[in-house]
Every structure is written in structure tokens, then in C-alpha cells.
Amino acid sequence: MFGSLELEISLKIGHHVFIFPNSSFKRGDIVSEVSSSVSRIIQKCLERLPHMTPEELISYKIKAEVEDAEVYYRLYELSKETSWSEELPKIFYQLYQENLKHAEKLLEFYKRIFPGKELISVDLPSIKATLTEETLRYFLESDRLEHLIDILMKNEKLAKEICEYVSNTAENPEVRELAQWLAKREEERYDKLKIIKKLPTAKREVSNQ
């Protein structure tokens, strides 16, 4: 689905899997559990941020962009099944494409700034493992879209904060310039998610057969 870029990044960075067993979630508390889990992930990332090298930061950012793209692609596919809104799948697909483009740009930049260096595996959790297809489907089919968007907005806010941190602390002026550009793109994605909150919430009837 994501082509050679995802394969290259997967091989070089690896996937750190943080899976919640299906039995750990009761239907009634999925929203609070997922929200709490994402908040813990964000807090852990922010605590680690000052101790990461530029290579680690960019490697982590590449991995995060690809994983976010996967989440948005899942949402694109699921929203076509569950929502009457034509705009909702379009926005999710745009977000998916933007994340992949940013990952490609970051990978090209990394190879140019750090020639000959492999991407670094950064042992930090991501929201991808928490937002499984089953969990995303639950949010969409149970009229909890607004809660899901709040969670995704938290993630985009974290991404912007990481970029702003790099733009303020990196010694390399090219790294600072790229980080400033990415911070603006993260803000644009945040604003796209806000638009979703204003869309009609009517959903399709999903057959259990």
C-alpha cells in the first residue's frame, strides 16, 4: 500500500509494537482508555525529546510520519464504509498523502545531511498500535468521531511541538529551516482535523452479515 518508501523505513527503523489485547478494552471505556494511552505516549515523547540527537529526532519523525499515514489510510477506507459524508474520506486521504510526502522529504534530507548514516531506531511508542483498525471502526460506528478527532489533534500538536523544538535547538541551519517548514505543515493538518468536527455526522447502516 505504501510502496518502497515504507519498506525501506521499516527495514531500517523497525516496528516497535505496543498492542493492547482485545480483552483489555470494554466497549464502554474504549474512549477513555485510548485517550489515556495516547496522553501517556505524548508525555513519554516530550520527556525524551531534550535527550535525543538530531539523527534520532529525524529518524523518529520519519517513522512517526509513516505510521500516522497508515492510521489515516485506515480511516480513509473505514470512513467510506461507515459515513455518508463525501468530505470525510477525502480529508483522511489528503492527510495520508501529506504524511507520506513529509516522510519522503525527511528521508531525502536525512540522507543528504547525514550521508552514509543509517536511520536510528528510537525506542518510543506510537499511537499506531493503540489506534488499531478495530478501535478506529468502533469510533466511527458508535458516533464517537469527535473523540477520535480530539485524539488525532493531540498527536498533531505533539508533532508540531517536536518540530518547533528542533527549529529552536538544532545547530545546523538547514535542519532548523526544515523543522520550521514542518511545524507549519503540522499546524495545517491540525486545522484540517478541526474541519472534520463541523461535518455532518450521519453514518451508514453497517451490515453484520
Instruction: Check if the beta carbon of residue 95 is closer than 8 Å to that of residue 186.
Output: no
CA distance 193 to 85: 15
CATH number at residue 167: 1.20.1260.10
Q: How far, CA to CA in Å, does 188 sit from each of 15, 45, 116?
A: 27, 21, 33
Could you tell me which residues come within 8 angstroms of residue 59 by beta carbon, excluding any fewer than 6 positions away? 13, 110, 119, 120, 121, 122
Average pLDDT over residues 62-80: 93
Name the amino acid, one letter, at 150: D
Helices 173-196 and 54-82: crossing angle in degrees, nearest 10, is 20
**Integer Cα distance of 154 and 49 in angstroms:** 16
CA angle 187, 189, 195 (to 5 degrees): 110
C-alpha of 1 from chain center: 16
Q: Say if 157 falls within a structural domain.
A: yes
Of 192, 70, 206, which is closest to residue 140 (Cα–Cα)? 206
The pLDDT score that the predictor gives to residue 22 is 41
Among candidate residues 181, 186, 178, the one with its CA nearest the CA of residue 161? 186
**25 located within any domain:** no
Over residues 98-107, the pLDDT tens digits come to: 999 999 999 9
> Which bin fits 18, alpha (ψ -120 to 50), beta or left (φ > 0)?
beta
pLDDT tens per residue, range 123-176: 887 788 788 899 999 988 888 888 899 989 988 888 888 889 888 988 888 888
Each residue of 23-58: b (16+ CB within 10 Å) or e? eebeeeebbebbbebbeebbeebeeebeebebbbbb
Q: Which domain holds residue 102?
A: 3-14+30-196
pLDDT at residue number 11: 36
Q: With respect to residue 107, please indicate whether it lies within any of the assigned structural domains.
A: yes
The count of structural domains within the chain is: 1
- Give domain status of residue 148, yes or no: yes
Q: What is the pLDDT of residue 106?
A: 93
Q: Is 202 part of a structural domain of the chain?
A: no
Report yes or no on 23 lying in a domain: no
Q: Would residue 97 count as lying in a domain?
A: yes
Check pLDDT > 60 for residue 56: yes
Does residue 21 fall inside a structural domain?
no
